[in-house]
Amino acid sequence: MDQATLLKFFPERLRELLGSDEITDVMVNEDGALSVDAGGHLTVLPERLDSSVLVMGIQNIARGLGFEFDAMAPMLDTRLPDGSRVAALFRNGSVTLTIRKFNRWFTMAELVESHCVPPMVRDAIVEGIQGTGPRGKANILISGGTSSGKTTFAKAAIDFIPQQERLIVIENPSELCISHPNAPRWEARAAVPDGPAALSVADLLAGALRHRPDRIILGEVRKPAEAYELLQTLNTGHSGSISTIHADSSEDAFYRLSDLLLASHSNLSREYVNRQILRSIDFIVHLQRVNGVRQVTELSVADKAKECFSLIYSA
Q: What is the tens place of the pLDDT at every residue in 153-170?
A: 999 999 999 999 999 999
Q: What's the rounded mean pLDDT across residues 47-56?
A: 92
| pLDDT at position 89 | 97
| pLDDT at position 226 | 96
pLDDT, tens only, 202-212: 999 999 999 99
- pLDDT greater than 80 at residue 52: yes
Q: What's the rounded mean pLDDT across residues 257-286?
A: 95
| pLDDT at position 104 | 74
- pLDDT greater than 80 at residue 45: yes
Q: What percent of the chain has pLDDT over 90?
A: 72
Q: What's the rounded mean pLDDT across residues 171-193?
A: 86
Q: What's the rounded mean pLDDT across residues 10-35?
A: 92
| pLDDT at position 177 | 85
Rounded distance between C-alpha atoms, residue 255 and residue 247, angstroms: 9
- pLDDT greater than 90 at residue 102: no
Q: Name all domains of the chain by residue range, CATH numbers in brackets.
A: 3-100 (3.30.450.90), 108-314 (3.40.50.300)
- pLDDT greater than 90 at residue 141: yes
- pLDDT greater than 80 at residue 278: yes
| pLDDT at position 103 | 65
| pLDDT at position 231 | 93
| pLDDT at position 1 | 79
Rounded distance between C-alpha atoms, residue 23 and residue 303, angstroms: 40
Of 100-104, 137-141, 171-175, 229-233, the poorest mean pLDDT is in 100-104
| pLDDT at position 88 | 96
pLDDT, tens only, 289-311: 888 788 999 999 999 878 899 99
Query: What is the chain's mean pLDDT, rounded?
Result: 92
- pLDDT greater than 80 at residue 191: no
Task: Indicate the residue type of 272.
Answer: Y
- pLDDT greater than 80 at residue 43: yes
Q: What pTM did the predictor assign? A: 0.85
